[in-house]
Chains A and B, each alone.
Chain A
Amino acid sequence: MNRALYASASGMAAQQMNLDTISDNLANADVAGFKGATMAFTEIAAPGETGLGTQPLGARTIFAQGKLEKSGGAFDVAIDGPGFFVLDDGHGRRAYSRDGGFARAADGSLRNAQGWQLTGVRIPPDALSVDVDERGSVVAATPRGRQTVGHLSLAEFAAPDGLQHAGGTIFRATPACGAMRLVVPGATDGPSVKFGMLERSNVSIVEAMVQILSAQRAYEANAKGVQAADEMMRIADNLTRG
């Protein structure tokens, strides 16, 4: 019965983690550039016929493309295809994100909601409007005429699964993801950037709701397993009393 007890307990713990991941997805379903995650589990193998329950392997990010949507922001850009925007977090460390909702700061840089700077672009103070073409060239219209004020390069990794999810839409490079490669958008088989658009999160709310329901039922079923094992132990205890 101990075996059943611990197998059920591991199942409850697994469903709890599953719920945490799904609720994080759901909470960020409206965040531009957010990538959903899914928990992976594996059986705890044991010598003999059956295993000893389940154990988590960790959350895996789904880098699938989100839908592009027209937005009202003056400096919104979306990536169509793989790749990340390269951000500077103010402490000299690089961060990567697909959230293209930028705002113009007083010093002319483009910054995301956290205030982290998009590298490679500086808007002149007298710029009237800004445009970004498919190849990532940032062109500002100023009273002196149109001038190119920067280039958007996108970061690509050999193994994006090795990126560390640093909360929200931010990722950090690790040794596991391979060297960062800067690519110029707009190549025939590469990513392109779309100005005036945002990438929606790739989380499907309907799917997440269904996942929550099934995780909840699985949790209950495992709780029943704990209950049954406990009940059987009680019966075994009573045997000796007579």
Chain B
Amino acid sequence: MTRKQRNFYIFPTKNNKFKHQSLDIGREAEITVKLKNNTLILDVTDLKILEALQEDSRQTYMAIGKHLGIAHSTVYDRIKRMEQNGIIKKYTALIDAEKAGTKSITAIMTIYTDPKESERVAEKLCNAPGILEVYTSLSEELLIMAKVVAENQESLHTFIANSVAPLPGVLRIRTSILTKKFKETQFSIVNNPKKLTFIKETHNIKGEK
């Protein structure tokens, strides 16, 4: 093989999640993400457009096209296609809650659960107001990690005592109140094939999370 090729094939598994099937050495300039049984193919131009949007989603198609050296109509077409396929989920604003005058505290809950009930606990948490993020974690015990925001320590305690501890399958809870933020950033798409793996984790072919 005279030139390198990198290809990522992503396909749905039995449980409708995606799995990385193969990784070949590919051309540096043509990093391709393919979704089996679907027409969506992301190439390096798409990734650069996504990167530009993550920098500033309010910039015009013209500005992105000029920056990337492509026609604004191309930028438009590709963005629309990625929107339709759920790659671009929405455009939103990052708000500094402190500057906006919102007084709140943020905490991380580590919830130890009965393995048989952990999925249900996680789903219930997802529907609870004030819960920002929910994850499961593999360690010696099955854990659910959840980020929660509350007005103050009292309301945080009331929420956990009344809405989390009583959930069937919750064995115990450890909560850490966050005191100082040193860094917060979104996952950035860059022209680096190692970072492409995020795609298999963040959407499926229907664009569902």
Asked whether A and B interact, the reply is: no
